[in-house]
C-alpha cells in the first residue's frame, strides 16, 4: 500500500482549526474545479490539447537552445543572455515543480482522461507544471521587456531585414508580442482546469511559482551571468 502523502496525513490528523481549514479549502477547490470543468465541456477539446502541447516542457525547453545556436543571436549579446536565463529558468522550474509534487503528492482529478504520463512524479497534481512554466515565460519576458527591445535592435542593426519589417518604425512589435505571450500563458493555465488535468488551486499555485522563478532568475541568477 502506498504511503500517505504529507497533505493526506495533515488532512486526516486529529481535528484542529488549521486542519479543518485545510480540509474545507481542499473540498472547496475540488468542487469549484469540477464545476468549471463540467460547464466548459462544450469547449473544443482539440484547442485545449493544442494549448497543452504548446506549454509542454519537451516543446518549450529546446526553443532557447535552438535560438541561441541560430545566426541572429551571434549578433546580440543581450539576446544570448536572455536565452541563457530563459533556459536556466526552465531547469529551475523543472526542479521546483518536481520536488513540490513529490513532497505534496496530491492526486490528479479523477475525471482526468487521456493523459500520457512520462515520469512518475507527473502522477501528482500540485502544483501545475504547465502553469508555472508558461507564467515563468510570460513574467520573465515582461520584466525583461527593455532588454528584449535592446536585443532585437542589435539584431536589426546587423542587417536582418525581416526584423526591420517586423519591429516597424514605432518599435512596438516586441511589446505587443510580449503581451500576446502573457495572454497565451493565462489561457494555457486556465485550460488545465478545463481539460481536467488539475484543480484550480494547482493552477494558481503554479502561476505564483512561475512568477517567483522569474524574479529569482532576474535578480539572483542574472547578476552572476
Q: What would the mean pLDDT of 83-109 be, rounded to a whole number?
A: 94
Specify if 35 maps to a domain. yes
* pLDDT for residue 12 is more than 50: no
Q: What would the mean pLDDT of 97-112 be, rounded to a whole number?
A: 92
- Model confidence band, residue 15 (pLDDT cutoffs 50, 70, 90): very low
What would the grid cell of residue 94 be? 523543472
Kindly report the number of other CB atoms within 10 A of residue 60's CB atom: 19
Specify if 12 maps to a domain. yes
Specify if 152 maps to a domain. yes
SS3 107: strand
Using a 10 angstrom Cβ sphere, with 0-12 exposed, 13-18 middle and 19 or more buried, the burial of residue 192 is buried
Q: Which residue has the higher pLDDT, 1 or 28?
A: 28
Specify if 1 maps to a domain. no
Q: What would the mean pLDDT of 78-94 be, rounded to a whole number?
A: 92
What would the grid cell of residue 29 be? 477547490
Global pTM reads 0.83
Catalytic residues: 130, 198
How many structural domains does the chain have?
A: 1
Residue 184's H or E segment, with its range, is helix 173-194
Specify if 45 maps to a domain. yes
Using a 10 angstrom Cβ sphere, with 0-12 exposed, 13-18 middle and 19 or more buried, the burial of residue 71 is exposed
* pLDDT for residue 62 is more than 60: yes
What would the grid cell of residue 215 be? 524574479
Half-sphere exposure of 51 (CA within 13 A, CB side): 23
Residue 51's H or E segment, with its range, is helix 45-54
Domain containing 74 equals: 6-224
Specify if 28 maps to a domain. yes
Q: What pLDDT score was predicted for residue 61?
A: 85
E strands, 76-192, are none
What percent of the chain clears pLDDT 70, i.e. is strictly above it? Answer: 83
Kindly report the number of other CB atoms within 10 A of residue 197's CB atom: 25
Q: How far apart are CA 157 and CA 150, in angstroms?
A: 10
Q: Are 181 and 133 in contact (CB under 8 A)?
A: no
Residue 43's H or E segment, with its range, is none
Amino acid at each position: 500500500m502506498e504511503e500517505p502523502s504529507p497533505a493526506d496525513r495533515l488532512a486526516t490528523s486529529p481535528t484542529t482549526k488549521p486542519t479543518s481549514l485545510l480540509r474545507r479549502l481542499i473540498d472547496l477547490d475540488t468542487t469549484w474545479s469540477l464545476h468549471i470543468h463540467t460547464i466548459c465541456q462544450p469547449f473544443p477539446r482539440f484547442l485545449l490539447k493544442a494549448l497543452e502541447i504548446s506549454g509542454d516542457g519537451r516543446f518549450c525547453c529546446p526553443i532557447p537552445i535552438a535560438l541561441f545556436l541560430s545566426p541572429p543571436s551571434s549578433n546580440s549579446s543581450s539576446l544570448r543572455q536572455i536565452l541563457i536565463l530563459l533556459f536556466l529558468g526552465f531547469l529551475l522550474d523543472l526542479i521546483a515543480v518536481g520536488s513540490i509534487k513529490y513532497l505534496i503528492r496530491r492526486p490528479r482529478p479523477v475525471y482526468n482522461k487521456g493523459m500520457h504520463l512520462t515520469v512518475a512524479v507527473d502522477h501528482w497534481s500540485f502544483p501545475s507544471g504547465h502553469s508555472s512554466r508558461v507564467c515563468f515565460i510570460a513574467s520573465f519576458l515582461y520584466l525583461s521587456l527593455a532588454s528584449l527591445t535592446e536585443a532585437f535592435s542589435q539584431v536589426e542593426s546587423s542587417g536582418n531585414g525581416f526584423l526591420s519589417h517586423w519591429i516597424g518604425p514605432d518599435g512596438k512589435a516586441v511589446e505587443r508580442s510580449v503581451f500576446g505571450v502573457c495572454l497565451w500563458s493565462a489561457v494555457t493555465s486556465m485550460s488545465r482546469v478545463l481539460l481536467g488535468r488539475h484543480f484550480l488551486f494547482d493552477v494558481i499555485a503554479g502561476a505564483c511559482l512561475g512568477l517567483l522563478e522569474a524574479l529569482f532568475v532576474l535578480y539572483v541568477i542574472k547578476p552572476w551571468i
